[in-house]
Amino acid sequence: MFRNLIFDWSGTLCDDIALTIEATNYVLEQYNRNPLSHDDFRAEFQLPYPNYYAIKVPEANIADLETHYRVAFDNSKTEVELLAHALDFLKFCTARGIRCFILTSMDSNAFALQNKQLDTERYFEHIHSGILNKEDYIATLMQQHGLKAQDTAFIGDMQHDVHAAHCAGVTAIGLLTGYNNAAQISEARPDILLPDLAALQQLMQRCPAPAPDSIILKGLELDCHIGVPDEERACAQRLLVDIELVSPLPFVAMQEDIECSINYFTLSQRLVELAQEEPIKLIETLASKLAACCVEEFGALEATIELHKFIMPNMSYSAVRTSLRRR
């Protein structure tokens, strides 16, 4: 259904609305404005936030506003946590090989701290934080990572997120877990509007996962002292191995950079060396070692190894096949 997902953070993956209201009310207090209730805040707050504050406190400049906000935000004792279903959905994306990105207006230092505290760093290929206007920036994100609009969705909880998705021509997915209510976010006309990430996961599970970009090597010759009897291991045997690797990045994102791909010449040399390192009884053992090498040393997301042995006189070959996926 999607190869790439761009996530908003606050209200989409992270429940920090109480902290945001607290910090916003501190800012308003500095300019003798009345504090906002939870319902008042949700009814009127919008992104980009400089535009919101320009209406709310027109006499203030954005630098002073951000300083006040950071004081309140950094000194607050209010805790934040992942929204329900967020972690399960991120794990689902990882299992499907979906590339995940963050696009958030949150201050970069504050985001990095929350991302670390909530132990979600591993799930995102790249973070784009501190972005005041997502509508202006999303095209830069798409170009930087080689994302195709037809393969990509932006998931958010506010009108601004939906508008940004429309600007980039990607699927706009609105969630009702955050700052905008259903009436507000519906005004922006998201392509898909769902109650939470669990509903999105159910929707995506009905669709087959897109086939990942793969690198295929056929008939690599290996010499190995292999076999259960001692006499069979006494002399090296010629084996053939077929290898299929799931690329760490879609080919379109590599931008002609070999460092972003798997150097299969170097890989083939390493597999030849690995087969010669020590005598082995079972081809199953060797196949497992070859798969681990592809994933652990060369960064394949998944490696499938089919190893052919030509010892039996009355058959073309015997073979084993194994797959290993990066954890």
What is the chain's mean pLDDT, rounded? Answer: 93
**According to the model, what pLDDT value does residue 129 have?**
97
Do 192 and 220 share a domain, yes or no? Answer: no
Do 195 and 220 share a domain, yes or no? Answer: no
The structural domain count of the chain equals 3
pLDDT band at 130 (very low <50, low <70, confident <90, very high): very high
Do 66 and 126 share a domain, yes or no? Answer: no
Do 284 and 175 share a domain, yes or no? Answer: no
Do 68 and 140 share a domain, yes or no? Answer: no
Do 10 and 56 share a domain, yes or no? Answer: no
**According to the model, what pLDDT value does residue 250 have?**
79
Residues 3-19, mean pLDDT to the nearest whole number: 96
Do 64 and 200 share a domain, yes or no? Answer: no
Residue range(s) defining the domain that contains residue 283: 214-325
**According to the model, what pLDDT value does residue 95 have?**
84
Of the residues 25, 59, 75, which one is the last residue of a structural domain?
A: 75
Over residues 222-266, the pLDDT tens digits come to: 999 999 999 899 999 999 999 999 988 778 777 788 888 899 999
Could you tell me the CATH number of the domain that includes residue 177? Answer: 3.40.50.1000
How many other C-beta atoms can be found within 10 angstroms of the C-beta atom of residue 255? Answer: 11
Do 249 and 186 share a domain, yes or no? Answer: no
Over residues 132-148, the pLDDT tens digits come to: 999 999 999 999 998 99
Residues 191-213, mean pLDDT to the nearest whole number: 90
pLDDT at 304 over 90: yes
Do 261 and 162 share a domain, yes or no? Answer: no
Closest to 8 measured CA to CA, from 219, 188, 153: 153
Residues 165-193, mean pLDDT to the nearest whole number: 96
Do 149 and 9 share a domain, yes or no? Answer: yes
- Checking 284-288 for CB contacts under 8 A at 24+ apart, the result is 284/320, 284/322, 286/224, 286/226, 286/239, 287/241, 287/320, 287/321, 287/322, 288/322, 288/324
Query: Could you write out the DSSP letters of every residue in 150-189?
Result: GGEEEEESSHHHHHHHHHHT-EEEEESSSSS-HHHHHHT-
The alpha-carbon radius of gyration of the chain (Å, integer) is: 26
Could you tell me the CATH number of the domain that includes residue 292? Answer: 3.30.1130.10
Do 55 and 171 share a domain, yes or no? Answer: no
pLDDT at 323 over 90: yes
Of the residues 174, 205, 236, which one is the last residue of a structural domain?
A: 205
Do 141 and 11 share a domain, yes or no? Answer: yes
